[in-house]
């Protein structure tokens, strides 16, 4: 899949970004700013600044109001470069591709487990994008594509947001635990064409100041409109639900 094909998935599904932001901040009551991520096939959008940071941390910087990007020249993590397709496999070598770095500076990974970790992690095709950019959703210019909506939040809100597509079209979200955060957040949605919720790993959680009760959610563009649809139709009748589900709440019912 190339970037044009990726964006074709959301064709005909425009998103009212102002309405989306209002729902997330005033109805869902997110405590952290939602971030719009853009895959760039050429130069990043005007106004975005290069950042020599690990790619996973662009969410934290965008939450703080910055518009930044990382590319093959501006970065501070070889693992992120590999999973974004900026670093060809022959250049990454066994250090990254086979996860040798996981065993060289920490004692709990076995070489076999490290290699399998990388084999099971998603990686963007080499050359699929030239850069990846992030900005606060509230400040995203109208002409800048939002390829992913990324959110860091508590489990209750993550359950609702990550489940938006599941209650509108029946697509269950994809969950990840173990891969590098850059793989889970930026490559997994591309390959699965699905919303991803992830706990991340130590580095990604640390760089993004993720609290113990928080996790990541990354929604692809073609699922973002479902967040608006879901919360505009969000009503619940607990007594009726109990009557329908639980024999003890069904008036006059007899055991079957």
pLDDT tens across 56-91, in order? Answer: 999 999 999 999 999 999 889 999 999 999 999 999
Detail the DSSP E strand segments found in the chain: 35-40, 49-50, 68-71, 131-136, 148-154, 174-176, 196-198, 214-220
Sheet holding 35-40, edge to edge: 49-50, 68-71, 131-136, 35-40, 148-154, 214-220, 196-198, 174-176
141 token code pair:
């210019």
Burial of residue 7 (number of CB atoms within 10 Å: 0-12, 13-18, 19+): middle
| pTM for the whole structure | 0.93
Q: Which of 76-85, 88-97, 246-255 comes out lowest in average pLDDT?
A: 246-255
Question: Please, which pLDDT band fits residue 249 given cuts at 50, 70 and 90?
Answer: confident
Q: Where are the beta strands (DSSP E) in 155-209?
A: 174-176, 196-198
Question: pLDDT tier at 252 (50, 70, 90 boundaries)?
Answer: low
Check whether 153 has a pLDDT greater than 60.
yes
Nearest C-alpha neighbor of 225 from the set 199, 195, 184, 197: 195
């Amino acid at each position: 899949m190339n970037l044009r094909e990726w964006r074709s998935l959301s064709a005909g599904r425009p998103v009212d970004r102002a309405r989306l932001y209002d729902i997330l901040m005033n109805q869902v009551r997110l405590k952290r700013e939602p971030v719009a991520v853009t895959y760039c096939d050429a130069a990043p959008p005007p106004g975005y600044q290069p950042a020599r940071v690990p790619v996973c941390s662009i969410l934290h910087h965008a939450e703080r109001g910055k518009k930044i990007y990382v590319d093959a020249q501006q970065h501070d993590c070889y693992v992120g470069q590999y999973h974004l397709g900026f670093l060809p496999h022959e250049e990454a070598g066994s250090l990254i591709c086979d996860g040798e770095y996981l065993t060289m500076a920490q004692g709990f990974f076995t070489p076999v487990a490290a290699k399998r970790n990388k084999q099971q992690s998603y990686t963007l095709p080499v050359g699929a994008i030239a850069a990846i950019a992030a900005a606060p959703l509230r400040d995203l210019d109208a002409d800048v594509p939002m390829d992913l909506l990324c959110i860091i939040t508590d489990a209750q809100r993550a359950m609702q947001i990550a489940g938006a597509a599941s209650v509108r079209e029946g697509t269950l979200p994809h969950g990840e635990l173990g891969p590098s955060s850059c793989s889970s957040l930026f490559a997994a949605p591309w390959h699965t064409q699905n919303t991803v919720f992830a706990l991340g790993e130590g580095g990604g959680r640390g760089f993004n100041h993720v609290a113990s009760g928080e996790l990541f959610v990354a929604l692809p563009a073609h699922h973002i409109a479902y967040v608006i649809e879901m919360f505009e139709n969000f009503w619940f009748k607990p007594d009726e639900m109990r009557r329908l589900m639980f024999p003890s709440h069904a008036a006059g019912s007899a055991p079957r």
